[in-house]
Every structure is written in C-alpha cells, then in structure tokens.
Amino acid sequence: MGWDSERDLRLVVAPPDDYDFDEAHAHGFAVVVDRFDWSNVARGSVQQEELCGQWVEFERPAMEEAANQGIESLAGLAGEPGWEPRRQVWDVQGLRDGRVLACSDGVLAEAWLPDGRLEWRVPDEEGGRQLAVRAGQRDAWVNVERRRVRWVGRERVTEPPLVARVSLEDGRVLDSLRLDTSVTLTTRDDGWLALRTTAWDRRHPESAALIRPAGEAPDVRVPLGGFDRFNHAFPIRHCRQLLFLQGKEREPWRDKWVVAVDPAGPDGEPSVRQLFPLDWDAKRAGHLFGGPGIEVGSAENRDLVHAGAVHDGAGLLPGNAFVVRRSLGDGAARWVCTADFPATALDGDDDTVYVAFNSGELVALRTSDGAVRWRQQLEVGGQPVVPLSLTLTEAGRLLIGTVDGRILDCSVAAPAGQ
C-alpha cells in the first residue's frame, strides 16, 4: 500500500475467500484508486469494479514487516522511539482496587494502575479474547484463540488454543489448559465457569467443560448438542446461570434456544435446561444471531437484556440489529430497541444499559423501558474510534476498549429529569 501521487492510492487486494487457501496467502490484485480529494471521500464510495486489478504475487509476511519498519521510522521522527502499535482491546474489566485489566491483540493480559501507568503486561503472539476474574480478584482466566497460521515448508501450522490463569498481582501464568479446539467462556455470579468448544467440524464432541469457583482445571463435562458453530457468541454478565445458545442437531442455525447449564442437576450430575427460544417472534421468517447481554431485575423477577441481529438470507439489513429485554421465566419481550449495526459490547445495571455498536456509536438505554437516554459517536482528539469491549465499573463510570487499542475511562451521567 502506498501513494503514487496526491490522487493515486496503490493497494494490493486479497482474493475472495473462496479461492484456494494457499494461493490466497501468496497472491493478490494490484489496484490503483484515484480520487481528486482524499480528505472528502464518502464511506462506501469505492466501487467493486475499482478493486479489480492485475493478479500479482504477494508475500504477506514480507509486506507486514515492511509496514512495521515504516511505522517505526515514523515513530522515531515523531520523537517516540520504541513506540509499538496497539490493536483490538477484546475485553476490559475494572478491579476493586481501581486497576484496569485488559486483553488485546498481542497481549494475553495487562494491568493498568489507577493513575494510567502500565503495571504489568503478558505478551502473546495473538493475545487474549475473554477475561473471567475469579472471586477474591487474585487471579483471572484468559481465553486465548489460535487462528494465525505459520508456514513450515508447505505445511500450515496453528498453535493449539489455550485458557490461561494469570496472577493479578504480577501477571504470572499460574496454570494453563491446552485445548483441542477454541472455546468461548461463560460465567456465573457464584464463580462457576464454562468452556464451550467452537470447533467447526464434527470430530470434536459438542460439550462444555465446567470449572468450579475454586478449581484450577476442568472438573466435569456436560453434553451440548445442536451447536451453531458460526454463531456461538452469547456472553452474559451479572448472571446467576451459565447460559448458552443451542440449535437443532442437523440445522443448528435454526430455531435456537437459550439454555442453562446446571453444574449439579436434580440427580447431582451436570444437566442442560431449555429456557426459551432465542427468537421471541414465532412468525419471523429469518433466524437470529446472539450477542452480549446482562441479567437485571429483582431477586424474585429476573430479566435478560441482550443484543443480537436478525438474518433473513440477505445479510444484515437496516433495523435488523436489536437490544431486547426479556423475562427469564418465559422469554417474553418487555421492550425491543432496533439498530442498523451490530452491538459489539453491552453492560449496565437496573437503571441504564450501555450498548456499543460497530458503527462507533455508544447508546444509553433506560433499563425499565428501553427508551434512549442519550447517544453519541465516540471520538478521541476529534478522531472517531470504534468500541469493541465495554464494562460498567461503578455508577457513572465506563471502561471502553477500542478497535485501535485504546482503553477509555469515561464518566457518564443521565440527562437531568431522566
């Protein structure tokens, strides 16, 4: 990528993902996009036909190294030698002592002091994706995916995924679980943790490994059939149950149910209970994708507020993303707030639900009825940023992790009279 002139931007565009995998990592299309004024280019204005160019050899690792060297040179000129780029902050948590815990691309976990100084960091080739802070806040489990492919000769090699337990005092890795497949984490308020496989093939059993609140390794497994591997995200916070999505055996993307995993069922063995369908509208033609959520309400009357999206075969259409509050008893929708873009993160309390969207917008909804309290595009120094993770640490304080590697410590308040 580079500039041929003030008007011409040269790019190498990757082939579509239906190309042969080997060729997709060794070739691309060389194109030049011409604009009279690049400071005034509308979103989505580059047309597909402009991205059709000459088929060329393209060695991605070599180009990445060249890009990194260019960034280092620019950082040196700006008086920031040793500067390193930061990438997606996938999860962020606030600790009781005021520190901030986060995981991101290239970082398994890191802790920041209340004054903004870095306390410790655990580097990793790919980095953490989810955090589960254990009771007592002495350590935390970190979910680490392994998707990056290394080439050994002509053989593709991927490191096995893992879930690591790190000390919150200094970042030491206390324990690690080497896994056959990637997993997603689900937590329960009393400290139980479930690891569910997200494998894309049928060779791996569809099950969840359960870790006791004080456990250091999976203690028991519970079968979970009918799992939609392309739609496994259903991270629910402040929850008294271990919640997952479950679909049909042969068509797992259809007719999903919200299910609860009981570590000790009626007979003392782990069991799975169907709670209600993911879709509250039985007449809807499309199928639903899950998203982040929280549990709210009184001790006697608990509700689930979660995000998601409706897919009807034409992709995500305007208005098909949503945030909904539902009864945990029968799944009835108490209110629905629609959106044009998917939610990336959600947290809140019985007063306000805060929702981050991949459009860069942050929206505050009144928990009781879903009314919009306020909404705004996130900006830092006048530049737009996209929120990827979010947590409410206390009333009026949000921690937001962004796609460009920032951690924002935000004060929020409802407008007067709301």
Highest mean pLDDT among 147-151, 197-201, 308-312 belongs to 308-312
Residue pLDDT, tens place only, 4-43 = 888 888 888 877 655 455 555 677 888 999 988 888 888 8
Cβ-contact 373, 356 below 8 angstroms: no
* Terminal alpha carbon distance of the chain: 49
Locate 11 and state its tokens: 């790019």
Q: Count other C-beta atoms under 10 Å from residue 145's C-beta.
A: 19
Answer yes or no: is pLDDT of 314 > 80: no
Answer yes or no: is pLDDT of 293 > 70: yes
Q: What is the identity of the amino acid at 395? A: A
Answer yes or no: is pLDDT of 204 > 80: no
Mean pLDDT of 236-245: 91
Residue pLDDT, tens place only, 35-84 = 888 888 888 888 888 888 888 877 665 556 666 666 667 666 666 666 67
- Structure confidence at residue 74 (pLDDT): 67
Written as one string, the DSSP assignment of 133-144 is EPTTSSEEEEEE
Answer yes or no: is pLDDT of 159 > 60: yes
Cβ-contact 303, 327 below 8 angstroms: yes
Q: What are phi and psi of 87, to 5 degrees?
A: -125, -160
- Structure confidence at residue 13 (pLDDT): 85
Mean pLDDT of 276-280: 93
How sure is the predictor about 307, in pLDDT bands with cuts at 50, 70 and 90? Answer: very high
- Structure confidence at residue 390 (pLDDT): 96
Residue pLDDT, tens place only, 327-367 = 999 999 999 999 999 999 999 999 999 999 999 999 999 99
- Structure confidence at residue 224 (pLDDT): 47
Answer yes or no: is pLDDT of 247 > 80: no
Residue pLDDT, tens place only, 80-98 = 666 677 889 999 999 999 9
**CA distance readout (Å), 137 to 133, 165, 314:** 6, 12, 45
Mean pLDDT of 208-215: 76
The answer for residues whose C-beta is within 8 angstroms of residue 316's C-beta and 6 or more apart is 309, 342
Residue pLDDT, tens place only, 366-375 = 999 999 999 9
Answer yes or no: is pLDDT of 219 > 60: no
User: For the chain, what percent of residues have pLDDT higher than 70?
Assistant: 79
How sure is the predictor about 227, in pLDDT bands with cuts at 50, 70 and 90? Answer: very low
How sure is the predictor about 104, in pLDDT bands with cuts at 50, 70 and 90? Answer: very high
Q: 279-418: CATH homologous superfamily?
A: YVTN repeat-like/Quinoprotein amine dehydrogenase (2.130.10.10)
Residue, of 382 and 365, whose pLDDT is higher: 365
- Structure confidence at residue 167 (pLDDT): 96
The answer for residues whose C-beta is within 8 angstroms of residue 64's C-beta and 6 or more apart is none
The answer for residues whose C-beta is within 8 angstroms of residue 100's C-beta and 6 or more apart is 92, 93, 94, 111, 112, 399, 407, 409
Q: What is the mean pLDDT of the chain?
A: 83
Dihedral Cα 365, 368, 371, 374, nearest 10 deg = -30
Answer yes or no: is pLDDT of 267 > 70: yes
Kindly list the domain boundaries of the chain, sorted by start residue. 2-77, 279-418
- Structure confidence at residue 156 (pLDDT): 64
Q: Count other C-beta atoms under 10 Å from residue 36's C-beta.
A: 8
106 in helix, strand or coil?
A: strand
